[in-house]
Amino acid sequence: MNILTYVPSLLAATFIVFSTPSVLHAQIFSLPDRIRDAKLSSLSIEALQVDQDINKVRPSLLGSAFFVKKSDVAYAITNAHVVAALRKNQQLLVGANLKRGKAYLEAELVKADHTIDVAVLKLGKTLFNSGEEIEFDQAFVGVSLFSPDSLIQEGVQVLVIGYPLNIGVESLGNQPVSRVGIVAQSTGPFGTFLIDGIVSHGNSGSLVFKAETLQLLGMVIGFKGDKIDFVDETGALLARLPHNSGLSLCISANKILALIP
Note whether 86 and 62 are within 8 A (CB): yes
Distance CA 53, CA 48 (A): 9
Note whether 64 and 202 are within 8 A (CB): yes
SS3 category, 36: helix
Burial class (CB in 10 A: 0-12, 13-18, 19+), 232: exposed
SS3 category, 145: helix
Note whether 107 and 93 are within 8 A (CB): yes
- The total of other beta-carbon atoms located within 10 Å of residue 218's CB is 30
9-25 pLDDT, tens digit each:
222 223 334 444 333 34
Strand pairing of 139-142 and 60-70? parallel
195-251 pLDDT, tens digit each:
999 899 999 999 999 999 899 999 999 987 677 777 778 888 878 776 678 899 999
Whether residue 78 is predicted with pLDDT greater than 90 in this model: the reply is yes
98-153 pLDDT, tens digit each:
877 888 898 999 999 999 999 999 998 887 766 555 677 788 888 889 999 999 99
Whether residue 6 is predicted with pLDDT greater than 60 in this model: the reply is no
Whether residue 5 is predicted with pLDDT greater than 50 in this model: the reply is no
Domain-wise residue ranges, the chain: 3-259
Note whether 187 and 7 are within 8 A (CB): no
Range in 36-40, 162-166, 190-194, 232-236 with the lowest mean pLDDT: 232-236
Q: Fold for domain 3-259?
A: Thrombin, subunit H (2.40.10)
Average pLDDT, the chain: 83
What is the structure's pLDDT at 182? Answer: 97
pTM, full prediction = 0.83
Whether residue 157 is predicted with pLDDT greater than 90 in this model: the reply is yes
Q: Which H or E element spans position 8?
A: helix 3-9
Q: Which H or E element spans position 74?
A: strand 73-78
Note whether 59 and 186 are within 8 A (CB): no
